[in-house]
């Protein structure tokens, strides 16, 4: 099968992935032969969520980036250009040193991230993972960039539909990858400490990093009221 035929098939598959649970990563796995792929929203306006992933191990890699607040996906959307790291065993990245090491520790040999932008709106990123050292050709980068435009529109579409069924302060995403508990815990920390939502999330991330735990686990403690940051506020008065 020619490269053009494979690319055309991927375009068709993404364009028709309109069901709420439709796989958005399969076209990239088939076209590039990477080990895993994930689609994530990052920051505002959609929140930080894994929208679609090729497997649970890839979801873990996405969660790590969200917990650390850095990584190739974050850099891709911040710089509005692809991030290409064909060999994580060589050097590091000043923009995401913690994520670089964390991905290496998880057995990732190469990672590529592409920004998702729709109508000038930063949506999130597509991350491609390989368990072997490899590079993407210039043509492959161009093809994935083109597919990312279709992918971004699908993510916006899903978010719009999902947002109609949740409250203003909730995550717009539901399902296996939802980080609803993180949003709920952020609201509770906000109320406890009298700080902004952004700062409350930083508190959760900082505590998770200091205790070497996932942010989800820290959020669960806050929701269960076994972890309360009110005392930290009181000590500063």
DSSP string, 193-222: HT--HHHHHHHHHHHHHHHT--HHHHHHHH
Q: Which two tokens stand for residue 80?
A: 């509005």
What is the pLDDT at residue 224? Answer: 85
> Using an 8 Å Cβ cutoff, are 197 and 186 in contact?
yes
Which range has highest mean pLDDT (140-144, 185-189, 216-220, 223-227)? 140-144
Q: Which two tokens stand for residue 108?
A: 């990732």
| Residue 2 pLDDT greater than 60, yes or no | no
Q: What is the tens place of the pLDDT at every residue in 88-139?
A: 999 889 999 999 999 999 999 999 999 999 988 899 999 999 999 999 999 9
Average pLDDT, the chain: 86
| Residue 165 pLDDT greater than 80, yes or no | no
What is the pLDDT at residue 174? Answer: 53
Calculate mean pLDDT across residues 166-173: 48
At 111 the three-state DSSP class reads strand
Q: What is the tens place of the pLDDT at every residue in 5-60?
A: 889 999 999 999 988 889 999 999 999 999 999 999 988 778 888 999 999 999 99
> Using an 8 Å Cβ cutoff, are 10 and 31 in contact?
yes
Q: Lay out the sheet containing 36-41: strands in order across.
A: 49-53, 36-41, 121-130, 110-118, 83-85
| Residue 172 pLDDT greater than 60, yes or no | no
What is the pLDDT at residue 232? Answer: 55
């Amino acid at each position: 099968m020619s490269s053009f035929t494979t690319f055309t098939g991927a375009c068709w598959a993404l364009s028709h992935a309109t069901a709420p649970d439709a796989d958005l990563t399969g076209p990239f796995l088939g076209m590039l032969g990477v080990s895993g792929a994930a689609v994530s929203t990052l920051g505002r306006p959609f929140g930080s969520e894994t929208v679609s992933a090729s497997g649970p191990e890839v979801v873990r890699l996405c969660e790590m980036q969200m917990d650390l607040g850095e990584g190739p996906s974050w850099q891709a959307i911040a710089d509005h250009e692809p991030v290409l790291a064909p060999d994580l065993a060589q050097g590091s990245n000043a923009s995401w040193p913690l994520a670089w090491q964390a991905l290496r520790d998880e057995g990732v040999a190469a990672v590529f991230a592409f920004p998702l932008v729709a109508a000038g709106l930063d949506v999130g990123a597509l991350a491609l993972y390989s368990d072997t050292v490899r590079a993407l050709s210039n043509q492959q980068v161009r093809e994935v960039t083109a597919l990312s435009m279709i992918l971004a529109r699908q993510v916006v579409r899903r978010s719009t539909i999902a947002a109609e069924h949740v409250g203003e302060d909730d995550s717009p995403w539901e399902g296996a990858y939802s980080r609803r508990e993180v949003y709920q815990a952020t609201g509770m920390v906000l109320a406890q400490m009298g700080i902004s939502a952004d700062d409350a999330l930083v508190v959760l991330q900082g505590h998770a990093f200091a205790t070497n735990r996932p942010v989800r686990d820290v959020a669960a403690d806050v929701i269960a009221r076994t972890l309360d940051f009110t005392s930290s506020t009181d000590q500063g008065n």
